[in-house]
Amino acid sequence: MHELAPLVYDLAIMLGLAGIVVLLFQRIHQPVVLGYLVAGMIVGPHTPPHALVNDIANIQILSELGVIFLMFSLGLEFSFRKLTRVGFSASFTGLFEVLLMIGIGYGAGRLLGWSQYDALFLGAALSISSTTIIIKAIDELGLKTKRFAELIFGVLIVEDLLAILLLVALSTIVATRNILSLGMITASLKLVLVVGAWFLFGYFLVPPIFRKIARYISQETLTIISVALCLSLVCVAAKFHYSSALGAFIMGSVLAETVLVHRIEELIQPIRDIFAAVFFISVGMLIDPAVILHNWPVVIFISLVTIIGKTITTSLAAFATGQSLNTSVRVGFSMAQIGEFSFIIVAMGMSLQVTGDKLYPLVVAVSGITTFTTPYLIRLSGWITAALSAYLPDRTKYFIESYSAWVYRTQTSSRKNSLLGKVTIRLFINGIIVAIVFSIMHYAGYRGLVIFSKQSGYSNLVLLLLSLAVSSPFIWGMLFSYKKARLPEYTKASLNPAVFMIWLVTLTEISTLSIVYFHTWITTLIFMGMAVIFFIVAYRHLERSYHWFEQQLLGNLKTQGIQDKARYEELAPWDSHLVEIEVGDRSPFIGKSLGECRIRQDYGINIVAISHGARVIPAPRGDEKIISHDKLIVLGNDSQIDQFRKQVEIVAGTSESASFLENFVLKPFLVEAGHVINGKSIRNSRIREKVNGMVVGLERGNVRILNPDPDMVLQVDDLLLLVGETEKIQHLDLEMM
């Protein structure tokens, strides 16, 4: 009989013991990740009498696959569209908290006398919270529909993206041995080019292919293709000396834009769970309990630094973006822990051989402590916010509310003039594509052309012309990136400063690429002259070519807009947010009209939309009746929604198929001089018909009015809070001009 490989015995022991431990942890309502770590400690070499596993080398290979599939699954749940929807508040909060915690963790490490790299990796590990553990804790506490939970979900998306960038940045710092150096700048530019190329080629090629094969592809084939694409980009990332996690995450985010993303998520989940279990068990195997016991004061110190530091930094960042004191404090306490990403960061430090052996078990111990305290801190945050609301002086409350209103109005006003953002994005994306084309021409074509022609000068000129021909649509896109934007009045003079700067940036990049890659000023001058002639002759053709490419790319990115499960809307003032609720069989509202139910009068909430099966009624009138199992989109604050929910009985939005809420959004709208609605009443402005929604709030000066009277006349600088259908409300600015 053929003898089994040692790895099979090891996996049987690891997974069997992990299953038992995880069942026990689930019984006592602790995270699964902690169960895996404990199982790893039991089978590892540091627990007497001896290690239960032997094939450590192959186990490490499987654990690396665990990291790959974890990052791949994270990418499947990520998309740039979601990142844009989390809004300014979540983006700033995540970035501010991560940067400050890196500094705080680094300072704590140096205070303990650790080396620079140990302190740096400690700071990075403390900066990233665990998405899995936080969402699980919030869900188990029944707080998933609370307003502060929505902001947390947005911050976690930002943190996940920053964690990927941290992995790349840390590996680059280790390679260059310097944080701020020419090598670091060069490596960063290379990263932007390489990763930008992966994203652009992926978004341009993969979604159309998957749309064509979606009708007939089987589950087995889809699994194989998805895993193959993931591992292929992992290999490409390794070829460019980047982490495997980066390649897996990018391919996941590319597949997230395909029509098959939900099927891929379901198929990949069991594969991810198996390999992720092996990864976390292998992490536990590296933990030496003796090191933790010997350094328990350090563990307590770092745990306190984590809890206090993340609570304060996150709360301050959320408050600075205009969130209410209640929301800011609850977000801060909920984010005060670290998890699986911290293990990956510290593991990379060990693989690069720049961190000591004691950092790993200490970080895991801190993760265990902060994971255990997470649900208690979330509960404590509710008590603290209630106490603050009861005991804060009225003057302080007025200042906080005024600051929140001022920040929100400022953000709304700044969004009205999006010229800079649109032009910058178009310049940046097209600039990356042009740089990629020049790079490919240089690295792939120069050597072969020199061998063929035996004249480097001739080769340089030919490659420049080829670079021009291939990248010309995107050069056109840079030169005329302002065409779809409405230029301000001051730019309409004969000497247009905005257009001048755009052209200067474009020509500077082309000249720089030409000189760096093809090493001659003479060739560059010839090239520039021919380029001018070429653009004059082929102007219209280039315009059509560029628009075709842009439409293809944007079309691929927008394909999945309605199918996203997550909801990360920009949060509104007045502590109001949207929640989907399903009407239960015993609800007292069944069979009554909205007017008879007096929902707005008794509960203070608005019924934004009703779904009678496939029939959706946005902004329903008072005579619309409620029937059993209707889905309602309601707008209100947490206490109002909780009170209303007790009467309605069923909270919707927890199943995979729930997507009714995705069709509606909150949006602030600033009335400016020149708008056609200025001077009209809310009823006569026809906003209700334009957005299939309603005006649920109005701020005039320092006065906020909830549910304003329809006959109220709109004035300049009124800030409206609108709720309506996503597709229609996004185009409201254009329709009203």
C-alpha span between 345 and 125 (Å, rounded): 6
| CATH number of the CATH domain containing 688 | 3.30.70.1450
Mean pLDDT value of segment 210-231: 88
Express each pLDDT in 79-113 by its tens digit. 666 555 556 788 889 889 999 999 999 999 999 99
pLDDT tens digits, one per residue of 223-282: 999 999 999 988 888 877 777 777 888 888 888 878 888 888 888 889 988 888 888 888
Of 624, 640, 661, the residue that ends a domain is 661
**Of the candidates 368, 302, 312, the residue with the CA atom closest to the CA atom of residue 126:** 302
**Alpha carbon distance 691, 69 (integer Å):** 41
Q: ∠ CA 199-202-203 to the nearest 5 degrees?
A: 80
Quick one: 648 and 670 in the same domain?
Answer: no
User: DSSP string covering 292-349, please?
Assistant: HHHTHHHHHHHHHHHHHHHHHHHHHHHHHTT--HHHHHHHHHHT----HHHHHHHHHH
Poorest-pLDDT segment among 121-125, 167-171, 387-391, 646-650? 646-650
- Select, from the ranges 174-178, 228-232, 412-416, 664-668, the one with the highest average predicted confidence (pLDDT): 228-232
- Final residue of a domain: which of 512, 537, 562? 537
Number of domains in the chain: 4
Judgement on whether residues 654 and 697 belong to the same structural domain of the protein: no
CA distance 317 to 326: 13
Structural domain contains residue 412: no
Q: What pLDDT, on the 0 to 100 scale, is given for residue 307?
A: 94
Tokens 């769970």, residue located: 273
Confidence of residue 574 (pLDDT cuts 50, 70, 90): low
User: Which one of 506, 537, 568 terminates a domain?
Assistant: 537
Same domain, 182 and 268: yes
When pLDDT is cut at 50, 70 and 90, the band that residue 539 belongs to is low
- pLDDT at residue 14 tops 80: yes
Q: Is residue 180 assigned to a domain?
A: yes
173: Cβ–Cβ under 8 A, 6 or more apart, which residues?
120, 179, 184
Q: How many CA atoms lie within 13 A of 168 on its CB side?
A: 24
Closest-CA residue to 79 (of 265, 219, 220): 265
The pLDDT value given to residue 542: 56
144 with 257, same domain: the answer is yes
Judgement on whether residues 625 and 501 belong to the same structural domain of the protein: no
Q: Identify whether residues 34 and 147 lie together within a single domain.
A: yes
Which of 30-39, 300-309, 313-322, 515-524 is predicted with the least confidence, judged by mean pLDDT? 515-524
Examine the domain organization and report whether 276 and 324 are in the same domain: yes
- The torsion angle over the Cα atoms of residues 675, 680, 686 and 688, rounded to 10 degrees, is 100
pLDDT of residue 390: 81
132 vs 544, higher pLDDT: 132
Q: What is the pLDDT of residue 397?
A: 75
Q: What angle do CA 695, 699, 704 make, to 5 degrees?
A: 100
pLDDT digits (tens, 9 = 90+) for 594-631: 888 888 778 878 888 888 776 778 778 788 888 888 88
| Whether pLDDT at 489 is above 60 | no
Among positive and negative, which fits the CA dihedral 185, 189, 194, 195?
Answer: positive
What percent of the chain shows pLDDT beyond 70? Answer: 75
State whether 592 and 645 are in the same domain: yes
**650 is a domain residue:** yes
Burial class (CB in 10 A: 0-12, 13-18, 19+), 420: exposed
Give a yes or no: residue 187 inside a domain: yes
In which band, very low, low, confident or very high, does the pLDDT at 560 lie, cut at 50, 70 and 90? very low
Q: Which CATH number fits the domain that encloses residue 139?
A: 1.20.1530.20
pLDDT at 33 over 70: yes
473 and 373, same domain (yes or no): no
Q: What is the DSSP string of 475-540?
A: HHHHHTTTTTS---GGG-SSS-HHHHHHHHHHHHHHHHHHHHHH--HHHHHHHHHHHHHHHHHTHH
Range of 127-131, 175-179, 538-542 with top mean pLDDT: 127-131
The per-residue pLDDT for 97 is 92
Reported confidence tier of residue 737, pLDDT bands at 50, 70, 90: very low
Q: What is the mean pLDDT of residues 490-510?
A: 63
Do 445 and 505 have their domain in common? yes
Q: Is residue 404 part of a domain?
A: no
The first and second tokens of residue 467, run together, are 């670079």
358-397 pLDDT, tens digit per residue, is 888 888 888 888 887 888 898 888 888 888 878 888 777 7
Is 569 within a domain?
no
Average predicted confidence (pLDDT) for the chain: 76
Asked whether residue 688 is domain-assigned, the answer is yes
Residue 328 pLDDT > 70, yes or no? yes
pLDDT for residue 30: 73
Please report the pLDDT score of residue 180 as a whole number. 58
Place of tokens 């290690």: 51
pLDDT of residue 550 exceeding 70, the answer is no
Q: Answer yes or no: is 691 within a domain.
A: yes
pLDDT, one tens digit per residue, over 161-192 is: 788 778 878 877 877 666 655 555 666 667 66
Same domain, 594 and 672: no
Residues 466 and 509 occupy one common structural domain: yes
CB atoms within 10 A of CB 448: 10
The pLDDT assigned to 58 comes to 83
Query: Predicted confidence band at 561 (pLDDT cuts at 50, 70, 90)?
Result: very low
CA distances from 51 to 21, 61, 70, 287 (A): 17, 18, 27, 13
Element (DSSP H or E) covering residue 351: helix 340-351
**In the predicted model, what is the mean pLDDT of residues 448-473?**
65
Q: Which residues contact 537 (CB under 8 A, 6 or more apart)?
A: none
Under a CB-based contact definition with an 8 Å cutoff, are residues 101 and 309 in contact?
yes
Is the confidence at residue 646, as pLDDT, over 80? Answer: no
Cis peptide before 49 (omega within 30 of 0): yes
Task: Say what the pLDDT of residue 562 is.
Answer: 36
Residue 704 domain boundaries: 664-735
pLDDT of 693 over the 50 cut: yes
